[in-house]
Chain A
């Protein structure tokens, strides 16, 4: 059965699997540094403009941010359980967990949409009609807020696409057991999306709440 999936440059499936896992971790290191530029910008301006950032940090939607944090942490659990089931070749369980993960991810995006609508309504978009027009640092804060959450949402959307592909295969009993590398790699990627929100949540919603 494993004949067809072993590529010619590898000697064994284990070696092939190990290589793809290492490759994905390296890719995640790249992604981490990609976001790192934004985190660095946030750190610098938080340091330079404590007051402006405090004024702006109070205006983000705490409810939406918190619900999303809980949703995403839980989706990390369902994804891990899905990968676990796939590794044990339990296709029905794996496809259920993957579907639940997709549902939680979609719920995150829905809440994010509601939040964005609310932000726009409150004139929190930098530019001509910005609510705190007299405070340039607040504008920098919201510029970072939109860029960081937007980029995270794009990553989450890509993750949903990957999950959909995995779900279609796992349902039919593919991509599990010995050929489960793709499922496992999608799980790693989803974990990364989770980790980014773990940092975005306190930075954007909490640290300036009571200063």
Chain B
């Protein structure tokens, strides 16, 4: 990859950083958390894609990189399913 590509990726990361920081002061209330997490996930993608060279790695490496995230998703979805539904039964 060209040096300029890396610098471009860094620019995107910094844009994400300032956006997260700026929106924190925009009084989005409960909406801020999901927005911040989406920006963070996008930043993670940029780091993995460019800085960690997934772009030029094999499909198998992509699978391994996605695996950890997917499995963490299982912990979150099923674990939080308990906490979110605790008040439902009167």
Contact = CB atoms under 8 A, between A and B. Distances in A.
Direct touching of A and B (C-beta under 8 Å):
yes
Interface of A: 18, 21-22, 25-26, 28-30, 32-33, 36-37, 39-40, 43-44, 47-48, 66, 69-70, 73-74, 76-77, 79-81, 83-84, 184, 187-188, 191-192, 194-195, 198-199, 201-203, 206-207, 209-211
Contacts of A48: 83
Contact of B51 (A28, A40, A47, A77): A77
A206 to B, nearest CB: 4
B15 to A, nearest CB: 10
Centre residue among B26, B68, B71 by max chain A CB count within 10 A: B68
Interface residues of B, number: 48
B75 interface: yes
B27 A32 contact: no
B58 A191 contact: no
Interface of B: 1, 3, 6-7, 9-10, 13-14, 17, 20-21, 24-27, 29-30, 32-33, 36-37, 39-40, 43-44, 47-48, 50-53, 57-58, 60-61, 64-65, 67-69, 71-72, 75-76, 79-80, 83-84
Report whether over half of chain A's contact residues are helix, strand or loop; otherwise say mixed: helix
B61 A195 contact: no
A108 B76 CA distance: 30
Nearest to B63: A25
A22 B60 contact: yes
Contacts of A198: 40, 43-44, 47
Contacts of B64: 22, 25-26, 29
Given A47-B80, A199-B40, A199-B44, A84 B6 contact: yes
Given A33-B68, A210-B24, A194 B51 contact: yes
Nearest to A31: B68
A209 B65 contact: no
The 6 closest A-B pairs by CB, nearest first: A29-B68, A191-B52, A32-B68, A202-B36, A206-B24, A77-B10
